Amino acid sequence: MKKYNIAVIGAGAVGIEMLRVLKQRAFPAGSLKVFARSARDINVDGDTYSVEPVSAEGFSGIDIALFAGTEGEKGAAVTYAQEAVKKGAVVIDNGADFRMDPKVPLVVPEVNARDLGPVKKWMHSCRKGGLQGHKGIVANPNCSTIQMVVALNPVHKKYGIRKIIVTTLQASSGAGKAAVEQLNNETAAIAGGNFANIQADRVPRVMPQQLAFNCFPHIGSFTDGGYTNEEWKLVKETHKIMHAPKIRISATTVRVPVKTGHSESVYVETSRALTAEGVRAVLSGSSGIVLADDTENNIYPMPKDAEGRDETFVGRIRRDSFDKRGLWLWVVADNLRKGAATNAVQIAECLISDSR
- Exposed / middle / buried, residue 295 (Cβ in 10 Å: 0-12, 13-18, 19+): exposed
Q: Count of CB atoms within 10 A of residue 1's CB?
A: 7
Average pLDDT over residues 290-295: 97
* pLDDT tens-digit series, residues 221-239: 999 999 999 999 999 999 9
- Exposed / middle / buried, residue 309 (Cβ in 10 Å: 0-12, 13-18, 19+): middle
HEC string for 55-94: CHHHHCCCCEEEECCCCCCCCHHHHHHHHHHHCCCEEEEC
CATH number of 144-335: 3.30.360.10
Asked whether residue 129 carries a pLDDT value surpassing 60, the answer given is: no
For the chain, what percent of residues have pLDDT higher than 70? 93
Catalytic residues: 143, 262
Q: What is the pLDDT of residue 1?
A: 79
Q: What is the pLDDT of residue 73?
A: 54
Asked whether residue 75 carries a pLDDT value surpassing 90, the answer given is: no
Average pLDDT over residues 150-160: 98
- 136: pLDDT confidence band, cut at 50, 70 and 90? very high
Residue 153 neighbours by CB under 8 Å, 6+ apart = 110, 111, 242, 286
Cα–Cα distance for residue pair 209/130, rounded to 1 Å = 43
Q: Is the dihedral of CA 101, 105, 106, 111 positive or negative?
A: positive
Average pLDDT value for the chain: 93
Q: What is the pLDDT of residue 44?
A: 95
* pLDDT tens-digit series, residues 25-34: 999 999 999 9
Cα–Cα distance for residue pair 58/176, rounded to 1 Å = 26
Are 4-141+340-355 and 144-335 equal in CATH topology? no
Asked whether residue 187 carries a pLDDT value surpassing 80, the answer given is: yes
Q: What is the pLDDT of residue 356?
A: 43
Homologous superfamily of 4-141+340-355 in CATH?
A: NAD(P)-binding Rossmann-like Domain (3.40.50.720)
Domain boundaries, the chain: 4-141+340-355, 144-335
- Taking phi first (over 0 means left), then psi (-120 to 50 degrees means alpha), and beta for anything else, what does residue 183 get? alpha
Q: What is the pLDDT of residue 121?
A: 87
Strands in 161-170's sheet, in edge-to-edge order, are 248-255, 161-170, 262-270, 326-333, 312-319, 289-291
Cα–Cα distance for residue pair 142/147, rounded to 1 Å = 9
* pLDDT tens-digit series, residues 239-279: 999 999 999 999 999 999 999 999 999 999 999 999 999 99
pTM, full prediction: 0.94
